[in-house]
Structure 1
Amino acid sequence: MNKFLLAAPLALAVSAYDWATSFFEPAAPLSYTATAAAPAAPATLSTFKSLKGTQSTAAVSDVVNAANAFIASLSATQQATLLQAYNSTTVTKWSNLPVNSTNRIGLRLDALTAAQQALALAVVQAATGTVSGDGFNEIQQLRAADDNLAANGGGGGYGSGVYLIAFLGTPSLTGTWQLQFGGHHLATNITYGNGQVTGATPKFEGTEPLNFTTANSNVLPAGTVCAPLSNEGAAMLAMLNGLTAAQKTTARLSQSFGDVVLGPNGNGQFPATKVGLAVNTLTAAQQALVVEAMRPWVQDSDDATAASLMTKYTNELAGTYIAYSGTGNFTTSGDYARIDGPTVWIEFVCQNGVIYSSQIHYHTVWRDHARDYGGNFYGTYTNVLGTKTAAAAQAFSAYPNPLIGGQLLQVQLASPATAATYTLRNSLGQAVRTASFRGQATEVSITGLAAGLYTLSVQADANPVVTQRVTLE
């Protein structure tokens, strides 16, 4: 493929950024500018609640209605494959790799009729963004990219039909459930709680090649020029190009990266210390480029959720850092960039191609320190000192979280126990609920408890006690 064509999407988009930011040097800091002279103290997860009130109940009802229409079109056997339990095991069944028999769950698109496929994709479209080049349009481009790989040496393991959809829990305007959709180079995980979007992450996207023209109309009209992730690449490049030489020295990481750090196996493994360049040391125009670098990932979610999250992430710039490794040009394998805020986490990396071996291809991931999987699992696990631990993340889940009066708190162990005990304590450390149970699950009534922050401790058999924060609203 012509080298100019590979570079063109980035070059065109960066030109647009240059034009926009040439006017962006205000006399006074903008409202979102982090004006502190020194890096802010790191925030703790207890500072942040799950994402609430982003997409209206009416908009979420469109997703639920589309989901129920899809369910109604399926046989009983197909429904059993689509509808999975919502727990700490199923929510993490996603991958960036081509589909195999173990790395994903749900129904494959190519196992459905054309009418069923249309209904499945209608669910995904209702749940994702409308911006061209991002959201649902980008998902379709990534599926088309897999058709391109299949036709150019990839074989039967690739293709726009080799993508799976699953509902974890029951689609509803009450309770908690998750939409999963993904395949090679794509993982979409959107969590809903009581008619609201509570999490839009983790979201993995990758593309090979960087741009191509569709040869069939399986996904998009034949002859469509596609460049998935060009918005992401251009935004990251503009952010780094906006730095001075001294700032780039501070932002540069000494280690090299062959892939994203927090991929499918990175749940709850955010680095304890932020590294790189503090965003609150940048000018207003440079901070604007950081905000714009986040946007292509965030607007993959539905438009209302994207707007809410962009506001949250922008308001957290004082605690956000940017970093990179490699050339900083995103033209060479190992080129890498990261945005790490109090809640936002975005990675972008270049790898050598697999099918197009003479070219690079992209891997990216968007995560949220507090809201991955709706904050019901890894995002809110803490020990008694208030720091997140992998042991707690693997021991049990408690959801929904936050709770609303009248709901039951569901406690799910990672594996069945002969004897287990839970204790719910209020902010004064007083035990307000305690009971023993056996098996893998139990329920905790919150009737009569005041709104506030609680800690739920669980001990299963002879295992150590692990504790999670629970918010009652």
Structure 2
Amino acid sequence: MAASAEAAVRSELPQVYGGHLNKRCDSTNKSPMQSCEIEFLTIIRPPLHTSPLPPNQSATPMRFITVILLALSIAAPSFATEDTSQTKTGAAMVKAASTLVAALSPAEKAKIVLAYDDPRRTDWHNIPKPERKGLPLRDMSNELKDLTQELLKVSLSASGYEKATRIMSLENNLFEDEKKLKTAPLRDPQRYFLSIFGTPSSKGTWGFSFEGHHLSLNFVVSDGAVVSDTPSFWGANPTIVRTYITGGPEVGVRTLKDEEELGFKLVKSLDEKQKQVAIRADKSPAEYRAGGSPQPPLTPPEGIAASELNKEQSEILWDLIKAYNSHLTDDVAAGNIEEIRQANFGRVHFGWWGATEPGIGHYYRVQGPTFVLEFVNYQDGVEGTKANHIHSVWRSLKGDFAIPIKGGN
């Protein structure tokens, strides 16, 4: 978050304790490596020095499992299906959300289920806000946490679900870094909120939001098909973990690795003439644009057009775009990619601001006729690490939240 915004938040908050993620295994299996998964929705909150594992388990096998899961998550994105209708995921979302709503108590329903036209539907942000719409994981029963987990699992790819849980687990690292500051109450992996707008059904339109610090997921389903998945925000602090904190990722784990490395790969592949067009400034902006705004900025694209790239450079740009869709299910990702192709990939622009080496502030923007994505790594991370705090966002130039932009694409 921007320094001024964070300072404002800090001044308003009391002190609370930290927490960590619980990793759950099938106890009937002799080998914990055979049936284990990260379970962010059964997060527990003992003091940070307490082991997150049951007394009869050692930390080493579980931490090793986490490393395996993380390694799988950073494989190159692929979209195995040619289905671009986005109805397979839409049907799964309808089923999962309907089951969840049916299980709600009146008090839970009053918090989670809101009218589709409720103005809070477009109230989003990546900063650690004191108040958000919906019900947080902390206030959910175990049953409701499981149902929320199922909704997220059918809405995201396996790697996307793992990435989301990892981003949430980094709140433990932030709590440890800020536990003496007033921001401590907001550094909590259970402060992620679920909201459902409208009635989940295969007919009509409804949507849902799952949001907290550094993660904002917003989906709209209409007549059984996913018609919007923006704004989609994914952030990380630290992006590269230097110190292991209970409940957080292993040392060396890097979040949003592909999004950063492919940006560097593309800008470094440009020749001097291309760089004169693509590199917009020597200094990076401190933040992405229009954070929390219901709609993206409608400025002309900047940088070099895809039509001016060679074949290898064009492939890197496609890989970068696909990396931003790798957290989605196959049919939703394929639909987004096909939309970009239909709108003319040659009109997609890539612009770069700031350093072209890690550890110094840098920013890039990719913008086509139908979308804009922004990436910024400018702020220092925990423990004072330089440029180790990523914000990335994907937005629709046709209109976020399935709300058409007046005069837009």
- 3-state DSSP of counterpart to 1:298: coil
> Is residue 2:213 matched to residue 1:188?
no
1:93 to 116, 123, 132: 123
TM-superposed deviation, 1:172: 1.2
8 Å CA contact 2:359–2:386 kept in 1: the answer is: no
Aligned residue runs from structure 1 range 392-471, under 5 A = none
Q: Distance in 1 between matches of 2:294 and 2:141?
A: 35
8 Å CA contact 1:233–1:330 kept in 2: the answer is: no
- 3-state DSSP of counterpart to 1:293: helix
Match of 2:101 in 1: 71
Aligned residue runs from structure 1 range 218-229, under 5 A = 226-229=253-256
Q: Which amino acid aligns with 2:174?
A: L
Q: Which amino acid aligns with 2:165?
A: Q
Higher RCO (C-alpha under 8 Å, 6+ residues apart): 2
Q: Distance in 2 between matches of 1:354 and 1:91?
A: 31
Match of 1:168 in 2: 197
Deviations 1:100-150 (A, max 9, x none): 12xx210100111223212112101111123x3xx1111111011112212
8 Å CA contact 1:204–1:263 kept in 2: the answer is: no
Q: Distance in 2 between matches of 1:257 and 1:198?
A: 32
Aligned residues: 324
Match of 1:300 in 2: 327
RMSD: 2.7
Match of 1:23 in 2: none
8 Å CA contact 1:53–1:197 kept in 2: the answer is: no
Q: Residues 96, 83 of structure 1: CA spacing in aligned structure 2 closer, same or farther, 3 A cutoff?
A: same
Q: Distance in 1 between matches of 2:99 and 2:245?
A: 31
Q: Distance in 1 between matches of 2:214 and 2:234?
A: 5
Q: Distance in 2 between matches of 1:322 and 1:223?
A: 33
TM-score by length of 2: 0.73
TM-score by length of 1: 0.64
Q: Distance in 1 between matches of 2:310 and 2:93?
A: 41
8 Å CA contact 2:375–2:390 kept in 1: the answer is: yes
Match of 1:123 in 2: 151
Larger mean CA deviation between 192-201 and 306-315 belongs to 306-315
8 Å CA contact 2:128–2:213 kept in 1: the answer is: yes
Match of 1:139 in 2: 164
1:55 to 83, 86, 90: 86
1:197 to 219, 223, 226: 226
Q: Distance in 1 between matches of 2:318 and 2:101?
A: 39
Q: Distance in 1 between matches of 2:105 and 2:295?
A: 34
Match of 2:178 in 1: 153
Deviations 1:420-452 (A, max 9, x none): xxxxxxxxxxxxxxxxxxxxxxxxxxxxxxxxx
- 3-state DSSP of counterpart to 1:261: coil
Deviations 1:251-273 (A, max 9, x none): 111374110013222614220x2
- 3-state DSSP of counterpart to 1:381: coil
2:298 to 265, 270, 275: 270
Q: Residues 253, 147 of structure 1: CA spacing in aligned structure 2 closer, same or farther, 3 A cutoff?
A: same
Q: Distance in 2 between matches of 1:62 and 1:84?
A: 20
1:258 to 274, 286, 304: 286
Deviations 1:152-196 (A, max 9, x none): 325221121010011111111111111101100111011110000
Bigger Cα Rg: 1
Q: Gaps (5+ residues) in structure 2?
A: 1-70, 77-82
Identity %: 24
Deviations 1:179-218 (A, max 9, x none): 101100111011110000101111111100012376445x
Q: Residues 224, 332 of structure 1: CA spacing in aligned structure 2 closer, same or farther, 3 A cutoff?
A: closer
Which one has a larger percent strand, Structure 1 or Structure 2? 1
